[in-house]
Chain A
Amino acid sequence: MMDNKLWRWGANVFLSLFAASVIFPFLVLFMSSISSDSSIYQHGYSIIPRDLSIEAYKYLTHNSAKIMHAFGVTVLVTVAGTLMSLMITSMLAYPLSRADLPYRNTFGFAVFFTMLFNGGLVPTYLMYTQYFSIKNSIWALIIPMLLMNGYSILIMRTFFAQTIPPEVYESARIDGGGEFRIFRSIVLPLSMPILATIGLFQTIAYWNDWMNGLIYLTDEKLYNMQNLLNQILLNIDAIASLDSTISATAADIPGLTIRMAIAFVSVVPIMLSYPFFQRYFVRGITIGSVKG
């Protein structure tokens, strides 16, 4: 019994330490964002704000046009991308789940092979920019990650195959339902759990994506939130460009705290919604890790 208690105590200590290592940096981020710029210059980023100030947030609300725009791009791309990706994925996964489909294995292999081998960045980039002129268009943020990978197709295929009994197809056909109708009014409604799970992962992926913007965008008007953050991260002067009214230089602006404030603002939506989707996220990881 003593042994059990000791273990439980040890488990709590270890897990608390790990949890603290997660919370601590975010706390530093937040506390720094509500400090005054001069106190940061003097004492550095810290967990205790020495000189409370909402200067950074004031600045962000006064110069919010660019941020709101980037936020809008993120929302648009996330919603459109997730919906399109769910549509295409389920439309491809459903026929592959039908044991009676001729050449099913050939098509299945064509999907599967994309998980083993890929052309990599250079040919992909040259193709999209030279032949599809995707550069500096909103499609650059949506198309290159549409299906993400063959995993989601194969996982969905397995789900369809396992949850929908073949008799359903037979009886639907006898009742005169075409394949499209069977798919739309029987298969999809029965598959909400898997659609929700894969949709959640797609949403997170689109929300956090900055790579496509880095590769395909030079036009700042199309930047999503992550691209804007990335720009400010790698080049502090970019903060000045937030200000469209006066030609400010980086020196006039509370840059040190704004950096932290804007990063913090960008994670707030995830933090707030996390408690609601945590369960599905955890379940999704276990589905995704085991092969489809």
Chain B
Amino acid sequence: MENAPHVDGARRIGMESVLTKRLKKLQRYLPLYILMVPGMLYLLINNYIPMAGLIIAFKKVNFTKGILGSDWVGFKNFEFLFQTKDAFIITRNTILYNGGFILLDTLVAVAIAILLSEIRGKLKFRFYQGTILLPNLISMVVVSYLGLAFLKMDTGMLNKTILPLFGMDEVMWYNEAKYWPLILTITHVWKSAGFYSVIFFAAVLGINPAYYEAATIDGANKWRQVVSITIPLIRPVIILMTMLGIGRIFYSDFGLFYNVPLNSGLIYRTTDVIDTYVFRGLMQLGDIGMASAAGLYQSLVGFTLVIVSNYLVRKFSRDDALF
């Protein structure tokens, strides 16, 4: 009791010095915070405001009232969206295409990576790797031109040269939905396999050559070595890339589904994915309600998938998890 005033005083002095210490520290780091301002401001505008803007899915946007002032309509936009067949079609297409892409990308890219590791000769190696990677450097618009050279209905190479060679009839490629799953899959793998192969190749290179030497001495042939050494040792990378792919399965490569089919209305059944649906709703149909509902649906499911797939990666290999 007697000591109380004294303790109180000491505490006050302590608090003051803590405060000045904090201020001093802040002052010392102020320049660093200033450096961060443009980037943080940009993320706030470009990323965080649109996140908050997702609420427009629950509004009927009226530009005269402004976006914030528009009337709330509850789940109306979602009711409309999920009443149509569109919701089912775009979800199905998105998942089936991207699921197939993950599978085929991995398969082809692992094959390329393993075979590249067999190539001796620097120039030859650079030629193969460089050429296989080239499609990755080209925009989807240019890829669509390449597609056009083959698929154009009156002058395309398939209809004019290749199909007649086999005595087959012309095909109206841009009007017939059934061919597009194949066309889009080939185009995607052609464009992306090289990219993934670089990642798998790095993993293959990282394998200790002693394993192969031992296997050769034991009389294991190449195929055996690939199956029992290479694949098991790059498996962590394969699983990681697959998980990352699953986390992004709700997002599609817009250009592939919009430009390569030339936005042809007759084949939406097999080419429409969530991204193209949202784009068309917003930019061409002016149906903001529907587009924003589909957009929120994509953001939420996409987010959930990222979290789930990351949880799985974490269980499997802690170091490779994103968080």
Contact = CB atoms under 8 A, between A and B. Distances in A.
A22 B137 contact: no
A192 interface: no
A178 B31 contact: yes
B278 A267 contact: no
A285 B113 CA distance: 14
Contacts of A260: 145, 149
A11 B132 CA distance: 14
Contacts of A127: 45, 49-50, 53
Interface stretch (A54-62, A63-71, A141-149): A141-149
B36 A118 contact: no
Contacts of B49: 119, 123, 127
Contacts of A8: 118-120
A125 B284 CA distance: 13
Interface residues of B, number: 99
Nearest to B191: A22
Contacts of A133: none
Interface in B83-100: none
B65 to A, nearest CB: 12
B227 interface: no
B295 A123 contact: yes
Interface in A228-280: 229-230, 233-234, 256, 259-260, 263, 266-267, 270, 274-275, 278
B42 interface: yes
Contacts of A6: 222
Interface in B248-291: 254-255, 259, 262-263, 275, 278-279, 282-283, 288, 291
B149 A126 contact: no
B120 to A, nearest CB: 7
A124 B126 CA distance: 41
Interface of B: 25-26, 29, 31-33, 35-36, 38-40, 42-43, 45-54, 56-57, 61, 63, 66-67, 111-112, 115-116, 118-120, 126-135, 137-142, 144-146, 148-150, 152, 154-157, 159-161, 190, 193, 195, 198-199, 202, 221-222, 241, 254-255, 259, 262-263, 275, 278-279, 282-283, 288, 291-292, 295-296, 298-299, 302-303, 306-307, 320, 322-323
Interface of A: 3-4, 6-8, 10-12, 14-16, 18-19, 21-23, 25-26, 28-29, 32, 40-41, 43-47, 87-89, 91-92, 94-96, 98, 101-102, 107, 110-112, 114-127, 130, 132, 143-144, 146-147, 153, 178-180, 183, 204, 207-211, 214-215, 226, 229-230, 233-234, 256, 259-260, 263, 266-267, 270, 274-275, 278, 281-282, 285-286, 289, 291
6 contacts: A19-B128, A119-B47, A119-B53, A123-B53, A210-B139, A275-B130
